[in-house]
Structures are given as structure tokens and as C-alpha cells.
Structure 1
């Protein structure tokens, strides 16, 4: 039963997040929550797809690609958490809550629930008893485009931030010229891969929760609002100009800089 496996996912995720909360108490760095979210979803993808009753091809493909995606993202975030101070978003949250560890614990446990919600697409694929080869190809191609684009955006930003001459400035090169959040856009795009893998599943409708929830979280909850607020605090006028020139989420042609200077 997929619901029993999802319950197991939640219990394991809750335990992992409790351990992450203890880690952040010792290191004063709540950024570990992002690492554990990605790693937890990688594990959830494997668990659901290995235990699912569906056909082997969609299950194994979704389990493999989902775990690779989560492991890549988790490793990328872990390198930042290990070598950089606490992300400004979490530092602001810690200050807003005046270091209240009860609230931080609740915040970590909310991420365990989020892992369970984002595992729903894998449950849909795991229940798919049909193998539709064309949809598997579509899903794999979508995954490659999404994860490849996200990896490229992360690498471009890391290269920009590593240059001391760019300190205090906003990255406008590569994919960052076309959207202010290319990593978020390609992260969202990659979730459509599991929609394709779930075609024919009795729970196929659950697979749509991935791109829908990811867009809502990125656009309105934990992604863009916090990231842009932090960017405005640290980069001020430079980031406001970037906001005027560049599409927020979906890639689009940048506005001409001279045009943006005429805006109020």
C-alpha cells in the first residue's frame, strides 16, 4: 500500500529532521535543513520505487533519477553549509524568533512533512503497472534538461561568487541573464519528468503535485520571497535594477538596461 510507505517516509524524515535540528543547535546554522530535505527526498524516491507494486521500468527509472537528483542537490547544498556562514534567510528567521529553539524544531518538522508531500509523485510512479516507452523517453529527457539546467545555473553562480571582484554585485551572466532564478526554474521543470513516468498509473494525478507544489513553494513560500528579500538587504540598488531588467522565474529576454533606468 503506497499510503503505508508514505507513512514510513514521514517517520524517517521526522527522525532525520530531529537530528538536523540538533546539528543546527551545535553549529548555529539552520541551512542544514535544505541539505536534509534534498537527501530525504532522494531516499524517499528509492524507498517508494523499490517497494512499489508497479512495472519495473518506470519504478526503477524514477527511483534512480529521483535519488540522483536529490543526492546532487544535497551535496551542492552541503558544500555551501560547510564552508559558508548561515544563509541570510535563516539568520533573519533565527533573529525574528529570537533564537527560540522550539520554533526552529517545529520548522524542521514542517520540512519532514514537506518531504512526504513531495514524495507523492514517486508514489504515483511506483503504482504504475504499465510501461509506456515513449513516455519514459519524454520523462528522461525532461529530467536531463531540468537537472542539467539547474547544475549549470549553480556552477555559473558559484564561479561568479568565487571572484572577489564581484562581491556585492549581482550575477547577470549565463542563465542568470534570462531569469533571476534559473536554478529554481529548472528545479521546477525537472518535476514534470515524474508526471511522464506516471502515465498509466491509477495514481497518475498525484504526480502533478510535484510541479504544482514546487511552483507554489518557490514562488510564494520558501524560495523567491526569502531569496529576493535577502538580495535586497545585501545588494540594494544593484539588485533592484536586476529585478527591473530580468524576468523573475520563467526565462525571457532581458529588458534593455537603458529602458530600466527610465522606470520610476
Structure 2
């Protein structure tokens, strides 16, 4: 069986190769239609590649086979299910929206020149993300260690990983159905969205923390995963996901809570939306959020001040004028 380092290296080459081919085709056709599709396919290719290469020589009776390792089977199946759903959902959403507006300026759709370097960076950034996300699975499938069957630890984190995947899928489906019904109620508060303002992001983050924890039992280090640098390297999967979804301006919570995104809610239904934000966790699905001390919301619950709505001066002036007009009318 190939070494873990060899499998990691080949996986990196495969990821870069797929993304470079995708960029070449997309650049020639001046389209972004392949972007999300190839990103999703990249995940699936890495999962299958690591499963195949992670099996020992079938002619060697002492070699560990992928099919004989329940940890490899469970991790790979759940990973493929998670990324397969993402592939289908993003492809459907791009079709419904008629494209991806993130690339309009880069592709020169507004009349400006095309920006090939920036377009290439988009594709390489996706390669980086795909590879980092996949590291815990690569760690599991490249392991040649023989260990006993599932432990309570394994069962716990396999179940939690599955829960994270299902939360993300439920959130995507419920939000899409709500949009198709004409966005009743101005903002989405149905299903899991009743308990979290961003349950899809929670599911995405939570599943990678669980997969990384699940991979602990696959360490080849005789002292356990805590002494294995390669296992610790896998923590970049959930950490990078958190960084992208919590801190990057074009995506995740920063985009969902930007002034432009929130203004429509505060203009149309300020009182009900304010109550929804006060009573509903920004990320972790839960009940009783309004009773949690603000210091905890600002720390462990990740409801940072940067996500608050900050109206422009013009908006504040307009609101005051409306209020003054209403007051004079009532008098």
C-alpha cells in the first residue's frame, strides 16, 4: 500500500490538474458554468481515489483492504453523500439563477475587459479549499493501521458527522422551497431556520469538525492521534471552513449580514426581523437564544458585532424624516 505522504501528494496533483483543466475550458468559453460543478466533482474524485489507493495489495492476505475497514467505508460514504449533494444543489441553483453574479466583472460581462489572472485565482482558491476540506478523509483512507471494530468514540462522531450533513441538506431544501413559494413572511424562518439564522453554514462547519475528530482512530502513530502531526494537520479542514464562512467578505456570514443584504429586511419588516435576530442564534441551532448573556453571544456563539446592521447616514436621516412625518400626521 502506498505511504500516506504519497497519497496526499498525488491527491494534491489531481486537484490542481482538475482545476487547471476547468479554468482552461472556462477561460476559452468565457463562462463560469463549470466552476461549482468541477469543484463538486473534485471532491468525489479525491474520495474515490483515496479509497482505491488506500487498499492494500489484494493478493496479500495480510494487507488491510478498504472494504474491510468500517471507518474507511463510513467516512467515504458520508463524504461522497455530503459532496454529492453539494454538487447537485449548486448546479441546480446556478441553473435557476442563470449563472453566478460573482464572476460578472471578472468575465467582463458588464462591458469591461476580462480579468484572466483574477479568474485563475478563483479556480486555484477552489483547488486549495477542496484539498484542505478533504484532508481528514485522505488521512483515514491512506492509513494502513489495523484496529478493532467501531468504538463508542467512532460511533459518536460518525453519527454527528451524519447529523451535520443532514442539517445542511435540510436547510438548503427548506430555503429553496420557501423561495419557490414567493418568500412568505419576508425572511426565512421555517424548519431549521427557526432555530438558526444560518443552519446551512452550521451544518457545513460542524460536519468537518466531526470528520476530523472521527479520523483520530485511523492514526498510524502508536501513541495515538494526539501524537500524530498528520492528524493535527487535518484540523485545517474545519478551521479553514470556519474562516471562509465567518470572515470572508464575498461569502458566508459576512455576505449574509452585509449592509446590502440586511437593509431589505430592515426596510420591509424592521420589527419582526429585529425580533427574529434577537431570538435566533446566528449559527448554532438552539432554543432560548434570547436568554443567553450577550458576552456569551459575542464569544462562544460567534454572534460578533461585525454582523450587526449598520445603516448609512442617509438611511438614518430618511428614517427620522419618516418618523417626524408620522408624528405630525397623528397630531
TM-score by length of 2: 0.66
Residue in structure 1 matched with residue 253 of structure 2 by the alignment: 224
Post-superposition shift, 1:180?
1.7
User: Quick check: 2:106–2:115 contact (8 Å CA) kept in 1?
Assistant: no
Residue in structure 2 matched with residue 103 of structure 1 by the alignment: 118
**Mean Cα deviation higher: 88-97 or 45-54:** 88-97
Change beyond 3 A, Cα 1:149–1:239: farther
**Alignment partner for residue 133 of structure 1, among 150, 155, 174?**
150
User: Quick check: 1:50–1:63 contact (8 Å CA) kept in 2?
Assistant: no
Change beyond 3 A, Cα 1:106–1:63: same
Aligned partners of 1:138 and 1:146: how far apart in 2? 12
Q: Which structure 2 residues correspond to residues 195-206 of structure 1 after superposition, within 5 A?
A: 195-201=213-219, 202=221, 203-206=230-233
User: Quick check: 2:15–2:127 contact (8 Å CA) kept in 1?
Assistant: yes
Q: CA RMSD for the aligned pairs? A: 3.3
**Mean Cα deviation higher: 239-248 or 189-198:** 239-248
Aligned partners of 2:6 and 2:150: how far apart in 1? 29
Residue in structure 2 matched with residue 70 of structure 1 by the alignment: 83
Residue in structure 2 matched with residue 11 of structure 1 by the alignment: 13
Residue in structure 1 matched with residue 200 of structure 2 by the alignment: 183
Change beyond 3 A, Cα 1:91–1:238: farther
Gaps of 5+ in 2: 56-63, 222-229, 292-307, 309-315, 317-331
User: Quick check: 1:188–1:215 contact (8 Å CA) kept in 2?
Assistant: yes
**Mean Cα deviation higher: 185-194 or 82-91:** 82-91
Gaps of 5+ in 1: none
Aligned partners of 1:90 and 1:160: how far apart in 2? 26
- Residue-by-residue CA offset, 1:216-238 (whole Å, 9 max, x unaligned): 22111242223433634765645
- Secondary structure of 1:40 counterpart: helix
| Structure with bigger gyration radius | 2
Question: Does the alignment pair 1:213 with 2:240?
Answer: yes
- Residue-by-residue CA offset, 1:104-153 (whole Å, 9 max, x unaligned): 11211121122222221112212261245123322321122111111111
Aligned partners of 1:225 and 1:94: how far apart in 2? 24
User: Quick check: 2:136–2:211 contact (8 Å CA) kept in 1?
Assistant: no
TM-score by length of 1: 0.80
Aligned partners of 1:233 and 1:102: how far apart in 2? 33
Aligned partners of 1:110 and 1:148: how far apart in 2? 26
**Alignment partner for residue 155 of structure 1, among 158, 173, 176?**
173
Change beyond 3 A, Cα 1:4–1:227: farther
Post-superposition shift, 1:3?
2.6
User: Quick check: 1:50–1:60 contact (8 Å CA) kept in 2?
Assistant: no
Tell me how many residue pairs correspond in the alignment.
Answer: 256
Aligned partners of 2:138 and 2:267: how far apart in 1? 45
Aligned partners of 2:263 and 2:103: how far apart in 1? 14
- Residue-by-residue CA offset, 1:79-127 (whole Å, 9 max, x unaligned): 1112323344444776799641221112111211222222211122122
Task: Give 1 or 2: higher helix fraction.
Answer: 1
User: Quick check: 2:32–2:99 contact (8 Å CA) kept in 1?
Assistant: yes
User: Quick check: 1:184–1:249 contact (8 Å CA) kept in 2?
Assistant: yes
- Residue-by-residue CA offset, 1:5-60 (whole Å, 9 max, x unaligned): 22222222223223433337636436x43333233122212222332266722222
Change beyond 3 A, Cα 1:58–1:18: same
